[in-house]
Amino acid sequence: MENNLREYDRPIQIAEGIYWVGFYEENTNLHCNPYLIAEGDKAVLIDAGSRPDFATVMTKILQAGVDPDNIVTLIYHHTDPDLCGSMPNVVDLCKNKDLTILSEKQDNIFINYYIDRDKHKFLKTINDLNFFFEFNGRRLEFIRTPHAHCPGSFVTYDKRTKTLFSSDLFGSFSRQWELFTRLADQCPDCTDYDNCIASRPYCPLPDIIHFHRDIMPSGKSLRYAMRQISTLDIDRIAPQHGSVFDQKKDIYFLIEKLSTLDKVGIDAFDM
């Protein structure tokens, strides 16, 4: 783990032009993952993080070789402070006069409260852009996943690398955390997560299941989100919490697992 901690002191490239710029969270099981996409002389920052995270995230952006003034768009998948808390700091540091703060139209009602009124001119919605954004030949597509977990939630798909930035979906309360997680071949057949069929010391599935049951409002909203995502050709999932998944077999197993998950949110209560 000591070697891993040193590795996490730097930005980590997870795909062509895509960098994880988060940090190892020692005090809680909720790891937050901002991502930077760099393409030529322009960059996009996704879910930039909380206010206490600002210095770490910005240091890693600089380490990745990106001038903050070259950030053209800030994407926020929903309005929680673990994503948006550093927004005023990021906006003040990025001196790009054409900067865009991009979210879903329902989110912008609340994003207004993170920044000064004279910065509201930067706000746009994925709806305004017909659900895609292109910069320097790179195309990002936006898929709405309402109420998973916020009314205006959505995910972002990078067509070039087939990377899905999934926000809270596929996230985890990670008791043991690494940036990349790969499931064992036997995981789809396992029914007893307390006794790993592959004899691994830690199984990530209970933490993923617990997270979705606790964070998502209902099974219906989670199933709807999985239906939208299942149509995509995905090589990796980069969630805002938990770990990156970069094996297709793991990705589509998790889509199926979450599609059929019971006791999600309000569904756990006897009505």
Beta strand pairing call for 35-39 and 42-46 = antiparallel
Give bridge partners of residue 237 from the DSSP assignment: 164, 245
Q: What is the pLDDT of residues 63-118, one digit of tens each?
A: 999 999 999 999 999 999 888 888 999 999 988 888 999 999 999 889 988 888 88
The predicted pLDDT at position 74 comes to 96
The predicted pLDDT at position 268 comes to 92
Q: Which has the higher per-residue pLDDT, 176 or 198? A: 176
Q: What is the pLDDT of residues 186-229, one digit of tens each?
A: 888 888 777 777 778 888 999 999 999 999 999 999 999 999 99
Q: How confident is residue 1, by pLDDT bands cut at 50, 70 and 90?
A: very low
Model confidence at 3: pLDDT above 50: no
Task: Work out the burial of residue 253: count CB atoms within 10 Å of its CB; fewer than 13 is exposed, 13-18 middle, 19 or more buried.
Answer: middle
The predicted pLDDT at position 31 comes to 82
What are the structural domains of the chain? 2-268 (3.60.15.10)
Percentage of the residues of the chain whose pLDDT score is greater than 70: 97
Give bridge partners of residue 74 from the DSSP assignment: 45, 101
